[in-house]
Amino acid sequence: MKNLREIALPELEVMMAELGEPKFRAKQVHEWVWQKFAADINDMTNLSKALREKLSQEFFIPKVKMHHSQYSSDGTIKNRLQLHDGFYVESVLIPTEKRMTACVSSQVGCSLSCKFCATGYMDRKRNLDFDEIVDEVTLLNELAINHYNKKLSNIVFMGMGEPLLNYKEMMKAIEKITSPDGLGMSPKRITVSTAGVAKMIRQLADDQVRFKLALSLHAATDRKRNEIMPINETNNLATLIEALNYFYKATGSEITFEYILFKNFNDSLQDAEDLVKLYRKVPVDLINIIEYNPIDAAKFEKPDEEQVEAFMDYLTRNKVNVRLRRSRGKDIDAACGQLANVDATPNP
């Protein structure tokens, strides 16, 4: 059985001609798949029963299903999604006054083993297909409408997995999400976050992407970054700086640094100075300073509030555009670095 959603419109037109069907049937099928998001071929009620039976013999629609949701006291909703082959991923809906953001996953598990991230302690089982990523977004959009009476305004690829190690499927998903015959979202409202795959950052530049890029930095020297992010051993800071400058020169797209503060590791004024030096080597629009969210597998701690303020103040005094990002959904393990709790019990 083949995935019907992998058949592009021109191929559908050829297929319909071979079945003796008029050309417009291809457009009808395409609309059912990508605009009405049909879960089953038999839902395509404007097709004849005979055609639906023919299609059902060869194709299926591997829809992602909402398994359960957990609701935070701050309004954040974490969702466990079931894939057609039984694997699970987590995604998060994050509401604020001005935005309705979907945080989506790109892989089942992750291969990068970042020491502070719950997903990093999982094995990578497989990449998500492009249509599964689109399903994530559509499910969160439906949740936003049903729960908050608002559509999604933003999408961040900051869930489980490294998006740039699922490059082809991620790009196809974004193409469908931004296409007029898909969700029609502006690429400027999409941010792809990477732990730092320099080769693929360059590929983004060559592909002239229009979405935003975020680098999960978390340490401003190779010595410290090697300790917490093994990927830095093959993608060091000098290589990443070069790739990010190449990306910005080619696309002009916004770049942000993500920097989690860990007590007595990367939160000193010397660390802040190192971060300022790095900031000045790349046309970074913003540095997001992120609260650390504890996980059972790691021994890191959150710094004292006074230390956070001193760190922020040093950056501000050195003319760094910086923002403190308060964590959302901590009470349901939905905050940054906590996605992997796939055995969580659903709320009643």
pLDDT value, residue 103: 95
Averaged pLDDT score across all residues of the chain: 92
pLDDT value, residue 299: 85
Q: Read off the pLDDT of residues 318-348 as tens digits, 9 standing for 90 and up.
A: 999 999 987 665 555 544 544 555 443 333 3
pLDDT value, residue 215: 98
| Residue 103 falls in the annotated catalytic set | no
| Residue 114 falls in the annotated catalytic set | no
Residue 39 lies in a domain: yes
User: Going by C-beta distance under 8 Å and a sequence separation of 6 or more, which residues neighbour residue 99?
Assistant: 153, 154
Residue 9 lies in a domain: yes
Catalytic residue among 110, 114, 117, 336: 336
Q: Which residues of 121-132 are buried (b: 16+ CB within 10 A; e: fewer)?
A: bbebeebbbbbb
Q: Is the pLDDT of residue 20 over 90?
A: yes
**Same structural domain, 51 and 87:** no
pTM of the model: 0.91
pLDDT band at residue 180 using 50, 70 and 90 as cut-offs: confident
Residue 341 lies in a domain: no
**Same structural domain, 187 and 282:** yes
Residue 168 lies in a domain: yes
Distance CA 68, CA 348 (A): 10
Q: Read off the pLDDT of residues 145-165 as tens digits, 9 standing for 90 and up.
A: 999 999 999 999 999 999 999
Catalytic residue among 21, 90, 136, 162: 90
**Same structural domain, 134 and 52:** no
Distance CA 59, CA 39 (A): 12
DSSP bridge partners of 216? 258
The residue range of the domain holding 316 is 65-332
The predicted model gives 273-297 an average pLDDT of 92
